[in-house]
Structure formats: C-alpha cells, structure tokens
C-alpha cells in the first residue's frame, strides 16, 4: 500500500511525540482531506448547473419530499439546519430565480408551502446526477464490498451525533 501525506504527517509526529497515540490523526486527517475533495467535487457539480451548494440543499430537500414537492418553511429549516431568517432569504432568492414558489398551506390558513417549480425540479435532478457521477469517481478505487463496509463504519462513527 502506498504512503500518503497523512502517513508522512504521522511519521513526523511520531518522531517528535512518540509518547502520543496518533491513531485519531490517521483517521480524521484523512476524513478532513477527503472532505475537501468532496467539497470541490460538489461545488463543481453544482456550478455545472448554475446553482450554489445552499441552493442544492433547499431544492434537494423539496425533491426528496416527493409529490407535490412542497414543504413548510419550518420543515425546510429542519431539513437544512439553518435559521428562520436564513431560510426566508434563501427561499426569496430561489423564488426570484424561478426555482421555487410559495403557495398558501391548505392545512393552515396563515401558513405557506414552498414548492419546486418545473425548472427547480429539472435543475436539482440534473445537479444530483452530476454529483453522483463525481462522487462515484471519488469512490472508484474501492471495491463494492469495501464501499459497503466503509459506509457501515462511518454510520457507526456518526451514531453519537444523531
């Protein structure tokens, strides 16, 4: 197996601090570096479809909701982990671009639903396909069984944050 820059980093730390357990560095430095590569792939996929990552997050939440591709602003906030003011701004900007529209909530006279427009749906679908293609490229060095094992290990690692 080839050495990577994290191996070199760990070797340097071992020389300087042999008294420390460096195993977390071996895992989290690689996750951090991989995260940067994933961020670049995501940005590139979204740029190819003239959207920003935050726009994809909102459009994708609506698309995953299923027909009729509508959510309340409160549900969008929970899905995207942003504040109410931030979501209002994002919906305004997406509506101005014709990617979402607001409609009265039939279940709440004072409420509103945010829904995908046909342009929003085609944009998010195309961007998601592009993203999956770029993510597949990041995973291509791993056999399928290792990908499944890695997903399981990462799920376990994430379990305290649920």
Cα–Cα distances (Å) from 153 to 24, 26, 100, 138, 162, in that order, read 15, 15, 37, 18, 15
Q: Does residue 123 lie in a domain region?
A: yes
Domain identity same for 2 and 41: yes
Average pLDDT of span 11-18: 96
Count of domains observed in the chain: 2
The maximal CA–CA distance of the chain, rounded, in angstroms, is 67
Q: Does residue 103 lie in a domain region?
A: yes
Average pLDDT of span 50-66: 97
- Token readout for 74 is 């409160």
Domain identity same for 105 and 74: yes
Pairwise CA distance, residues 131 & 123, whole Å: 12
The pLDDT assigned to 58 comes to: 98
Pairwise CA distance, residues 102 & 112, whole Å: 6
Q: Does residue 149 lie in a domain region?
A: no
First vs last Cα of the chain: how many Å apart? 34
Given CA atoms 156, 131, 127, 37 in this order, what sign does their dihedral have?
Answer: positive
Contacts (Cβ under 8 Å, ≥6 apart) of 84: 73, 77
Query: Exposed/middle/buried for 159, CB within 10 Å: 0-12, 13-18, 19+?
Result: exposed
The pLDDT assigned to 54 comes to: 96
- Token readout for 86 is 């931030």
The pLDDT assigned to 117 comes to: 98
pLDDT digits (tens, 9 = 90+) for 100-110: 999 999 988 88
pLDDT digits (tens, 9 = 90+) for 121-158: 999 999 999 999 999 999 999 999 999 999 999 999 99
What range does the domain containing 22 cover?
1-47
């Amino acid at each position: 197996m080839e050495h990577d820059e994290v191996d070199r980093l760990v070797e340097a730390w071992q020389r300087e601090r042999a008294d420390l357990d460096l195993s977390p560095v071996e895992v989290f430095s690689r996750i951090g570096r991989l995260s940067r590569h994933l961020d670049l792939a995501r940005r590139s996929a979204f740029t190819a479809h003239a959207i920003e990552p935050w726009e994809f997050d909102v459009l994708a939440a609506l698309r995953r909701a299923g027909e009729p591709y509508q959510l309340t602003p409160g549900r969008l906030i929970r899905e995207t982990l942003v504040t109410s003011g931030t979501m209002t701004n994002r919906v305004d900007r997406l509506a101005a671009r014709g990617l979402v529209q607001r409609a009265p909530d039939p279940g709440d006279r004072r409420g509103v639903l945010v829904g995908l427009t046909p342009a929003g749906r085609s944009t998010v679908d195309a961007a998601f396909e592009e993203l999956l293609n770029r993510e597949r490229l990041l995973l291509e060095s791993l056999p399928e069984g290792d990908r499944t094992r890695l997903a399981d290990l990462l799920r376990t690692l994430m379990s305290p944050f649920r």
